[in-house]
Structure 1
Amino acid sequence: MPKQLHILALDTCTETCSVALTINGDVYARIEDAPREHSQRLLPMVDAVLAEAKVTLADIDLIAYGRGPGSFTGIRICTSMTQGLALGLDLPVIGISTLTAMAQMAIELGASQVLCCIDARMKEVYWGQYIAKDGIATLVGEEHVSAPEAIELTLDTQQTISVCGTGFEAYPQLLNIAPHITPCSQATYPDAKAMIVLAQQGYQQGLHTSVDELSPVYLRDTVTWKKLPGRE
């Protein structure tokens, strides 16, 4: 592996569809607000960043994929596309939490504590708490799915907490969860660009896997992921 990993990052877990590619330290990216069109948009966006960087999939060292939580359909699209791209070249893959990617975006904008909250429908939210460690979003505790009123903050409520995600639009009362709340609208949806640094760190920590071990995270346990036929 080269010192600077060539990483392709994909995310379709929410309303936005995003792709990012890092080649020799340069980043090429696309993002589109395209609900219900992710399956049509993702591969052309991948082709576009590869063409812009003047590389092919064979030049990629690692594929980072949005593993959820988020839309069940969006997670399935992202994991299926990752399988298809990684399989032929036997590329390693690494799953990046949707919530962590959003927190990373907020931290890159100056946040030190972040509460991410995605509307999960059914009167629930997906949520996670993060602190910045050396500029990297670090999960405090676990990711959760719960009713909005069941969120229990363990962050320092005497300090500013940045909040992001569609959960705060669906349940605006959450903006009163602590006395020093700062909304971060730029991180309402995850962007694959923020996944690059998380993938680099995860790779260094040995968190990457083969494509056969690709693992989406729904948080709700009512959905079962099925691998490609013959690869169970």
Structure 2
Amino acid sequence: MELFIKVGHIEPSVIIFDVFGTLVKIEERRSPYRKLMKWLKENGRQPKPDGAKFIMSHNLNLAELTKRLAVNIPDQFLQELEHDLDEELRSIRLYEDTLSTLEELKKLGFRLAVCSNLAMPYGKVVSSFLPSLDAYAWSYEVGAIKPESQIYQYLIDKLQCHAKDILFIGDTLLADYSGPTEFGMSARLIDRKSGQKLADVLSDIL
């Protein structure tokens, strides 16, 4: 189902993009953090409901994270997780239309930003692929995850704009559509799995 809020007479001056499933993809999923949470549960440590939030809202690498969780993870398993993480990071790729679309939007005068829920190691890799943007809201740096209002407010403060000036593009209903629109932004969802491209959801702009 395509969700689309027309910008109407208010022309956006800022476009904010989600990252995974919108601008980049992981070609070889190993899910090391999911494996970690599963291991914790199997070894008697019941994960908290906000376990995923903890991972994505703390600026920690995998080894530091396990220490903060106060668990003694076997070295061999930790090495396995590190290997899985390295393989997954190496398999991150931009969608073919990402750079050209961002360049075109820049030429048209839009300010551009990204807003993503992710663990710290992923942010560094994604940053290396993307061109220089006007703002970056990585959940592990902000200390909040979408759809929490703090992460959207962080972008407002960085960009010194109003929510009504922003168009948010992403692939997740709650984080990239409901959250932004409740905050006062316009929002559109992209469905990469069905072959949709950025130009399809920005057809009235590009």
TM-score scaled by structure 1? 0.25
TM-score scaled by structure 2? 0.27
Structure (1 or 2) with the greater helix fraction: 2
